[in-house]
Structure 1
Amino acid sequence: MRTTVITAVITASEYEVVTAVSTTANRQPTKLHEFHPGPVDHVRTDARFPGCCGKSGKHADPPPSRSRRRNTAAWQTRRPPIQRLCPVCPPGTITRVGNRREDMEQASWVPSSVDLDRPSAARMYDYYLGGSHNFAVDREAAQSVEQIFPGMAGAARANRSFLRRAVRYLLAQGIDQFLDLGSGIPTVGNVHEIAQQSTANAKVVYVDVEPVAVAHSTALLADNPDATAIQADVRDPDSVLDNDKVRAMLDFTRPIGLLMVAVLHFVPDADNPEKAVARYRAALPRGSYLAISHGSLEGIHADGLGDSERIKAIYRRTDSPLAFRSREEVAAFFTDLDVVPPGVVPLSEWHADSADAYISAYVGVGRKP
């Protein structure tokens, strides 16, 4: 997809919060209403900001009647104005994720570079984790994957669980600065939340090529001087390592925790991921750590290989096609590093602390001697 989790995921139903401007004389000019607009999927809410992202946990008012809707200025427009209740959510964000393409796609904050007709692996991952920063095209692709593999959401959560365990392990080894490559869209239990709960001044840099991920990371971290986000392609290490924000936030004379969680299986062989990872390893100071999780087809029954090909076909429509690798290929990413026990192992076997869903992936953590 964590401790310091104050974000709840609601998947059963969802309501938009709109500013309803009454046209009836002698009434208050505005009033919040929650109404059920049609087919829905999910929404996130943050306990720090009641009403965050469109739902506070209880309904302030019943759905307005049809006659009341007709007399409400908000209903006389195609897209009602949205009450901004959360400082993280950009103005104009509609967090309901239904079937109409007039939700987040129409929000003014969406970067112009976003192709709304092409699914994004990062936004699909956000959908699996119960996030709301995804578009109709992403949901359609993600739901197609779930029809083939109904456990995809559980697998995504299991992967986030590994991220949490890896960060805590690195903190215990004295690491207090992190470079998170392919960080994705902000969701519950981000690296900076875990790290800064343990070490107040821990530094974190998030890196992603997805504009939506970077936009929301930047908004989330606006008041956090010890964390930042940049837009860069992890396949181009120099664009990351030479970035001014990275150099300003991280001290490359001290050990760094490099996180490549659920990112390398989106780098095809043609892009030479081994060379890119070697460049990152070379840039790390002695005593640094590299944490990797990577999807694999090993361990999947022969009957399931056909389903895997169907899933790969769906991801070929995205900006990040899948490239599954063997345990031996994943272990090669740790060349010249001391892999810590229990080694490169199935995800569920690495310092397990909960009953996570099974995921066909290998993980490992290595230290630079």
Structure 2
Amino acid sequence: MALKKCHECGHQVSTSAPACPSCGAKVKKGMGCGTLLLALFLSFIGMIVLLGALGIWSASARRSEEVNAAIDSKKAFEKSKREFENSISEKFRLLVEKKNANDVQGALKILREFETFKRADYDGVDALKTQILTAGALERLRTTAPTEINVIHGIFIELSRLNPENPEYAQQVSKYADAVKQAEIVRIAQESEARVKAQKERERNIKESTSSLVAHKDEVEGITWYKHKESPKSDASKAIFAYIGKKEGSLWLRMKITYTADDWLFIKNFTFNIDGTSYSLPISYFRDRKSDNSGGKIWEWVDLMVDAESFALLNKVSRSSRTILRYEGQQYYSDRVVSSSEKLIIQQILTAFSALGGLPPSR
């Protein structure tokens, strides 16, 4: 049996008692779990109904706005049409006046009003329309350069359609149709010649750019590797260079940095000072770093896929006046100046990569 304090006198009273035995005040009943869950469920349902009603109201309001806008637009059009009808004789007089004054643009503007309000059937408008459109076409013909034969051909087609009884326009249509065909033949020939020339230029660039490279085909992987003739043949060296990989039309760059000495550095990072500005090339010690030793000599190296940042770094190194490369080890470091031949090799590899169709890696 649960007890609680009476809200009147403060004495303990059973929650199941109808009234307090001390003061007689009625015991307020609490809300049971079932009642609470039912209330929450009904509140949830009520919220869904309310949101649905709001959505319906919003959609209805939008439709109402669209309908009102359409009604307003129709009313505005009907008003303009009534005003036009009331002044139609004056509009026609102005149309004739503009036409006689060779004001083609002004006449066309008035003519569009007759067409907009579907009154092209008004006395004499059709005849004037043909004359005005013919005058407009002739005006465009006068201002079109003789070399624009496609445009001229189109204008004569328009004139022939407007004036089918005039044989001269039909003759000009035929004449310029032949000229258009001939111009198309010349254009195709010129484009073909330009493509052949561009292809030869690309082939010449590729030949020149790759003349200093050596290709090696990996028959197992199906990859052709392009390396510079002067690149180090062994990892037991101190060098930085790049090389190219190609497979089934895909092209990519890799870069290699090598180090050799009498003792280990355990390289974990590279820093480049390029013309006074420092750039860092971090590596993963366990994933990227490779090492070997023999005859009292050690060598460490990394062989990395070139990404956008390292591509930019290689560009800067190849064009620099002076680059210092720091091999940063676990405790010590070693500095050296990147040689002119190394920079030239990198530059020639990047040029060949572009000539072969390679694109800079995206970030």
User: Could you tell me the TM-score, scaled by structure 2's length?
Assistant: 0.18
Report the structure, 1 or 2, having the larger helix content: 2
Report the structure, 1 or 2, having the larger strand content: 2
User: Could you tell me the TM-score, scaled by structure 1's length?
Assistant: 0.17
When Rg is computed on C-alpha atoms for both structures, the one with the higher figure is: 2
